[in-house]
Structure 1
């Protein structure tokens, strides 16, 4: 058994946006991390809420970035949504598709008939991210749902990570309909629902799976819901302040700056850490206040502070007692 974090698991399920790549740019070290896992015989899977590409297209994109991937290893919310609809409605049923061509293709391949207008009397509306989604199709979806169509969202991620910063995600588009209809979707298929993860585990016949993600409200909450260990990497959406304020349902087993954390001892990423694992930092708690002193790896400081904030210290109660501590807290906007 390998002594590093990844060595304790027989399957690693990666989120994509914010973990392996940012839009169309690979994150440094991702290809090497996947290659190292494959080299030691660890199974790999990819689970994404992005419904704008089919599994084969995602695998091709990853391969083009130097990240080894097979279509069968990719689970998308588009494919999952189409499967759910095919189980609920007879073959040939009309489904109004809000999203990219990939979602439309998944619906068609599932034996259903994609349509674009409420006048086609669809039995359901399925809504996924698509960069060309606009007022016209959202209006048709609104009319269809008001007429009784089942409303299924592939996911409700408010944002997508990008090299320029967070961009509006499917959740922002779902919010348009939520405002117009004054209600939530009937079903959200993707993360934080556990289906993508449990499917990956079943396909790999894994006994010790690990989920790696960048979002607390989807990747990590989905892992917690599925009863799986998880690693939060700080290369995407959720940052240190988010982790410090995380509710129990969104708390990861581990946290690391990036995927290199997979290949360090698990104890160096466990959150919260053992009290003696300070790495040059010192924390002292006094009631609702915790003081950070010393210097060292910011992720170690983050792990130490999680022990305090997860047990009742508010973010406003975090204080700095050294220049390095002040610099770290400032970089976290605390």
Structure 2
């Protein structure tokens, strides 16, 4: 796999005559909202990943969550029934630490606003984590951790105001939890940004540093990015020029997908991780519209129309092609409410 390939400007979801486990050698899986939500596995995730592994696909876990070291994430996955080693986990803390290491001398102190994941990622590269500007850090690195509070954010603001380089692991505004959607690192970064007027350099998905870190650590030849977020997982795959599978077990809704700009359009879509195990039907032009499975979709007067019958995900694939065609022609997002309701979304 090359470090940077040409992004594909997708006008419809793609098709694969083979199961994705056969078409790709490595699944680069997001975690929150894809494999688990908080302490619990997503429905069907454990069995689907076991089947993918049995089929010969390598599983690597690529997450913007910088709060926990890879060994802790691997232990959590194993407890959930998804066997994993620390080397199988690539997180934004590692990408952020590498950015910091390129800015300061070896052995430098770095102010950490975040959890143990950031501390261990820095130590791996010979940097020393500290928690106060008074300790003499040469840079600031910020990542998500549930323990981050006002005192930590204030310390980051003081350090950034002093002129130190500031690296954020990611800008995800939210994180899925068992009880619902909670504030993520992007929300906490916004507090420091508002206090200082400074923009951080960002390491995580969808930006190139995270893709580079993934390339360095997995060596995948035919990777498939698997995620639930359009603006991180899918855009990250687009920026890296690799294919992607969107699953609807996290934050993305069908409504959001229909309005997706080019960089947020996945190659494939599925209800959950069982989508790795099956072929995916292609979308084809049909009588001025688009067909997939037993469905035909088109647009009339700014409203999506759908006819036919069959698997509802095939219907959504056809609707995406129709909606994206209008967007690419410079039109406004179409009204898909009735068509989606007809599919049971």
| TM-score of the two chains, using structure 1 as the length reference | 0.89
Post-superposition shift, 1:2? 8.8
Matched-pair contact (CA < 8 Å) for 1:223–1:229: yes
Among 310, 315, 320, the alignment partner of 1:306 is 320
Of 281-290 and 234-243, more deviation after overlay is shown by: 281-290
Post-superposition shift, 1:129? 0.4
Post-superposition shift, 1:108? 3.0
- List gaps (5 residues or longer) in structure 2: 1-15
Q: Deviations over 1:285-332 (max 9, x none)?
A: 2353321234443322221111122122644533637xxx54547x4x
Structure 1 counterpart of 2:275: 261
Structure 2 counterpart of 1:102: 117
- The 5 A counterparts of 1:1-334 are 3-185=18-200, 187-267=201-281, 273-275=283-285, 277-286=291-300, 288-312=302-326, 314-318=332-336, 320=338, 326-328=341-343, 331=345
Q: Could you tell me how far apart the structure 1 residues matched to 2:293 and 2:220 are?
A: 34
In structure 2, relative to structure 1, the CA distance for the partners of 1:228 and 1:94 (3 Å cut) is same
Q: Could you tell me how far apart the structure 2 residues matched to 1:70 and 1:319 are?
A: 43
Q: Which runs of 4+ in 1 moved over 6 A?
A: none
**How many pairs align?**
322
Cα RMSD over matched residues? 2.2
Q: Could you tell me how far apart the structure 2 residues matched to 1:318 and 1:228 are?
A: 28
Matched-pair contact (CA < 8 Å) for 1:201–1:209: no
Post-superposition shift, 1:201? 4.0
- List gaps (5 residues or longer) in structure 1: none
Q: Could you tell me how far apart the structure 2 residues matched to 1:203 and 1:178 are?
A: 31
Matched-pair contact (CA < 8 Å) for 2:39–2:178: no
Q: Could you tell me how far apart the structure 2 residues matched to 1:256 and 1:6 are?
A: 14
Structure with bigger RCO (C-alpha 8 Å, 6+ apart): 2
| TM-score of the two chains, using structure 2 as the length reference | 0.86
